[in-house]
């Protein structure tokens, strides 16, 4: 597995963890809310809170940059 694949798997797992946490909170906090609304709200919040991958080209070649709302610095990989 190359580096880019490992990073994409890590980002997907992070998204799933964030999705599960938000879904559990909304499911138990708002019991009368329809499952469609819980899923839509959870998906929107998970997309906003999950890390993003940017590819850019530098003099050294293609680089991968990870940007996340919880980290001030960008990760260059």
| pLDDT tens track for 49-66 | 999 888 888 888 888 888
Per-residue confidence band for 28, with pLDDT thresholds at 50, 70 and 90: very high
Provide the pLDDT for residue 74.
78
Provide the pLDDT for residue 22.
95
C-alpha dihedral, 58 to 60 to 66 to 67, nearest 10°: -40
Provide the pLDDT for residue 16.
96
Task: Give the list of residues 6+ apart from residue 26 with CB closer than 8 angstroms, or none.
Answer: 33, 38, 41, 42
Share of the chain above pLDDT 70, in %: 100
* Total count of domains within the chain: 1
Mean pLDDT, the chain, rounded, equals 89
Structural domain harbouring 67: 3-76
Q: How far is CA 14 from the centre of its chain?
A: 5
């Amino acid at each position: 597995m190359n580096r880019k694949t490992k990073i994409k798997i890590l980002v997907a797992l992070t998204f799933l963890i964030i999705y599960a946490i938000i879904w559990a909170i909304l499911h138990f906090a708002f019991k009368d809310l329809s499952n469609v609304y819980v899923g839509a709200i959870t998906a929107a919040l998970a997309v906003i809170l999950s890390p993003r991958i940017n590819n850019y080209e530098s003099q050294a070649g293609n680089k991968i940059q990870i940007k996340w709302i919880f980290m001030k610095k960008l990760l260059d990989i």
